[in-house]
Each structure stands twice: as C-alpha cells, then as structure tokens.
Copies of this chain bind each other. A is one copy, B any other.
Amino acid sequence: MNVAIITIGDELLIGQVINRNAAWIAEQCTNIGCSVIAHSVVGDQAEDLTSEIRRLGARCSALILTGGLGPTHDDITKFVLAEMAGDHMVVHQPWVDHLRAWLARRGRELTARNAGQAEVPSTAAVLHNPVGTAPGLWMTIEGTIVVALPGVPREMQALMTAEVLPRFASHVALEEGPIWTYHTLQTTGIAESNLADLIGEPSEFLGASTLAFLPNLQGVRLRIGVVGRSDAERTAERDRVRAILWNRAGRFIFGEGDRTLSEAVGLELAKRGHTIAVAESCTGGLLGAELTKVQGSSAWFLGGYLAYNNRVKISEVCVHPADLDRVGAVSQEVAEQLATGARVQIGTTWGIGITGIAGPGGGTAEKPVGTIWIALAGPGGVKATRFQFGDERHSNRERSVGAALGMLWTALKADS
C-alpha cells in the first residue's frame, strides 16, 4: 500500500514551523507495512493543493493530508476536497451536537465559527476527533483514498491512532506483494565508527536486508530493513539479523523500537527497586523533564533541585562555598557535590549532578563554552566525567542530558 503525505500551510513552507507531523505519520505508516513514497509541503493556496493531490494521488493508494481544517479564512482543505470530488458541503448534525456538548463541558458556548467546523463534503466519512473541534475526513477522490486531518499534532495523532491506522492495516493485510518492514536497535556509549567496526562488514550477513546507522543525541540507532511476503517470513529474517547485532554489540544496546534512553533507565531502576534524584545547573530542569516524560516515572524519580544560581547550590544542595570560590561552579568538585547532595538529601539510590557552560556566554580559555561536568552518585560512591561539547547552547544542554542518562544506564547494567 503506497502512501504519500501532504502537509499544508504557509507556516511550513516559509520554515516557521518544522514539519514534525510528516515524520510521525511516515513512521506509523511504515510500522504497519505501508510504503511511504513521498512527503510534500504546500501552502494555503487551493490550486497548489489541488495539483498536489492529483499528482501524488496518481501514484498512491492513499494520501494523508494535515492542516487547513481550522475555523479561520485560510483553512481551505475541505473546500478543495469537495471541489475535486464534485461534491457539496453539508452540516454534519452529530458533530454539531458533539461540539455543543464538548464546549459546554468547558463552560463555553457554540459560536457560529465553531459550528462551521461541522460542515463537511457530503460524501466524506467523518472521523471522530476526541481532542479538538475539527473532525477528520475520509474520502475517495479520483480512485484514491484521501484522509484529511487537523494540523495540531495531538489532534492529528489521536485521529491517526484511533481511526486511520487500523483501516490502513486492514488494507495492507489484503495485499499480495512483498512489503518492507523496519526494526530499530538503540545503542548508547559508543561512537558510530566504533560501532561499525564492532559489527563488521554488513554485506557479509545482510542478504536482501538493509542496515542503517543513525546517530542522534542519545546514541546511534541501528535500523534493520527486511522484505518479504508474509509476517512470518519478515519476522524470521529480522530475528536472524537482530541476533547477529545483539551478539556483536549487545552490551551497548539499551532498547528496541522507539524505546527512549530515559525509558530504558526507568525500567532498570524499577527492576531493582532503585530511585533517583537530580541536581541540575546548566540544564535547568531538562534532565528531570526527560526522566518524567516516562509514564509511571513516579515509581523511581523522586525529585531534585534546579541549582542554577550559585546561591541555590549552596543553600539548597549544600555545595561548599569554598569550592565554588576555589575551582568555580563548573568543576569536578561541584558536580560531585550536586550529585551527592541530591542523593543524600532526597534519600535516593542514585543522584546525578550536572554543571557546565552551555553558552553562548561564560566561556574562558580554560573552560570554553561546551565544557560540562556530569557526576553520578550511587551505592558505590561518586564519579564525575568532563565532557567537551560544541558552541551551541541548545545542543549542549541536550547532549548533557543524553550523556547523563547514558552514564546511569551503563552503571545500572554494570551493577547487575
């Protein structure tokens, strides 16, 4: 089943918004065995959208559109679809009723503008949007399935998950030809080139399958692609390649699929009945935010300190003022005292301390921007590591979080 994704909006075209929706949709469709053959971004002009639907529709079984379903004058998607299908707009009364109740629960009245969202092309199936006022639409235009979804990510995701993916999966199940599916192993604590050396020449074991190395801030992902006519055939081949990779690089693999490093850390902590606290300076809460992204993190994450200002490091985390004077806030000593302070005061198995110069200001010859100290305190003592990242504030903070989680995961595995 070939699928193309059209995301609609001038804000995407001019680069004001990053097109995260297309990546999310593509990943979900790929996971159920669809082939995504193109992504395209068009602006809020009816003729551009029409010609893109016609062009990609000719090459696909289904098109997924996001955006342009809102209540304002630049939202044109449903009118374009009606026009292309030679259809007219009707009021979908069940959606009017739903909207009225939905707004009432929020203490709001149904305005004319909101009621307009229940106007849909007469031949469209209306897809229930559980988290917003615009319904999704499912139509057939010139022989191609066209699905129109709101551009708001959580609305689009809710509709994809509940309404679109199950229907696509039934289409895929009816198909005859071979299809590609993908599986990812996630590593941490090893550089891409070292990982490649460890795994060896891929062509010697891949056969018709593929292997891609995809580095990100948490580590390097290994993506296996397999092709076959049946689930059983693809699963057997995937497991064959997977076993080779686990055998050669298993000690660096923290998870499979879209498992995140914080989820992997959470699982290892929960398995041992361990807990963790943090004391963050330059990351300002980013590590805590990443850990508490995980559902159920309250079982093992207790809390910590945002010790951004030195006064807070001293008064709340008991960092020694003399050390701050002598070696400065970005130092092994202070990182260790932050980690130990968090661990002892909150009363957890593990403590992490992060202190560094995220930039763009604050660098010196001795401690340039990108100098980060991360300490891990645990049952076996405390150990700090110095990292030298780059000159970009945002990425220095993100890489610090990735490094801290990697240190903790490695320590937990070594401990087992």
Answer whether A41 and B16 are a contact pair too, CB < 8 Å, given A312-B346, A395-B154: no
Task: State whether A309 and B305 are in contact (beta carbons under 8 Å apart), knowing that A15-B23, A15-B27, A215-B152 are contacts in the complex.
Answer: no
A225 within 8 A of B: yes
Looking at chain A, what size class is its interface with the partner chain? 35 or more
Across the interface, A285 reaches (CB within 8 A) one of B26, B74, B215, B306, namely: B306
A345 CB to closest chain B CB (Å) equals 8
**Which residues of A in the span 271-318 have a Cβ within 8 Å of any Cβ on B?**
277-278, 280, 282-293, 295-298, 301-309, 311-312, 315-316
- How far, in whole Å, are A27 and B13 apart by their CA atoms in the complex? 8
Q: Chain B's nearest CB lies how many Å from the CB of A246? A: 19
Q: Which residues of B contact A154 (CB under 8 A)?
A: 390, 392, 395
Say yes or no: is A25 at the interface (Cβ < 8 Å to chain B): yes
A238 CA to B296 CA, complexed, in Å: 49
**Is A213 a contact partner of B72 (Cβ separation < 8 A)?**
yes
Say yes or no for A125: interface residue by CB 8 A criterion: no
Any chain B CB within 8 A of the CB of A167? no
Residues of B within 8 A of A74 (CB): 210-213
> Knowing A70-B213, A154-B395 touch, does A13 contact B42 (C-beta < 8 A)?
no
Within 8 A of B (CB), among A20-36: 20, 22-30, 36
- Residue-wise, chain A 388-408 has the 8 Å CB interface mask toward B (1 for contact) of 101111110100000000000
A12 interface residue per 8 A CB criterion = yes
Structural contact, A36 and B20, CB atoms closer than 8 A: no
Task: Please give me the residue from chain B that is nearest to A180 by CB atom.
Answer: B14
- A71 on the B face (CB < 8 A): yes
Residue pair B311, A203 in contact (C-beta under 8 Å):
no
Q: List the B side residues contacting A213 at CB < 8 Å.
A: 70, 72, 74
For A247-278 the 0/1 string (1 means CB < 8 A from B) is 00000000000100000000000000000011
In the bound complex, do residue A14 and residue B27 qualify as a contact, i.e. CB atoms below 8 Å apart? yes
One of A86-94, A138-146, A190-198 at the interface: A190-198
Residues of B with C-beta under 8 A to A111: 193, 197
| A230 contacts B by Cβ under 8 Å | no
Closest residue of B by beta carbon distance from A116:
B193
Nearest CB to that of A317 among chain B residues?
B303
Of all chain B residues, the one with the shortest Cβ separation from A202 is B73
Query: Which chain A residues (171-217) contact chain B, with CB distance < 8 Å?
Result: 182, 184, 192-193, 196-197, 202-203, 210-215
Q: Contact at B44–A212, with CB atoms within 8 Å?
A: yes
Among the listed B22, B42, B284, which residue makes an inter-chain contact with A291, where contact means beta carbons less than 8 Å apart? B284
Whether a CB of chain B sits under 8 angstroms from the CB of A360 is yes
- Min distance, Cβ A189 to any Cβ of chain B, angstroms: 15
Tell which of A26, A158, A221, A296 has the most Cβ of chain B within 10 Å: A26
Point out the residues of chain B lying under 8 angstroms from A39, CB to CB: 12-13, 19, 39-41
Interface status of A414 (Cβ within 8 A of chain B): no
Q: Is A327 interfacial (CB 8 A cutoff)?
A: no
Judging by beta carbons under 8 Å apart, are B308 and A17 in contact? no
The residue of chain B having its C-beta at the shortest distance from the C-beta of A30 within the complex is: B14
When the two chains form their complex, are residues B295 and A278 in contact, meaning their CB atoms are under 8 A apart?
Answer: no
Given contacts A283-B292, A293-B394, 6 further A-B contacts (CB under 8 A): A13-B39, A70-B192, A73-B203, A111-B193, A113-B193, A131-B391
15 contacts between A and B (CB under 8 A): A15-B24, A16-B27, A18-B18, A39-B40, A70-B192, A71-B192, A72-B213, A73-B202, A111-B193, A154-B395, A285-B304, A286-B292, A305-B306, A311-B347, A316-B346
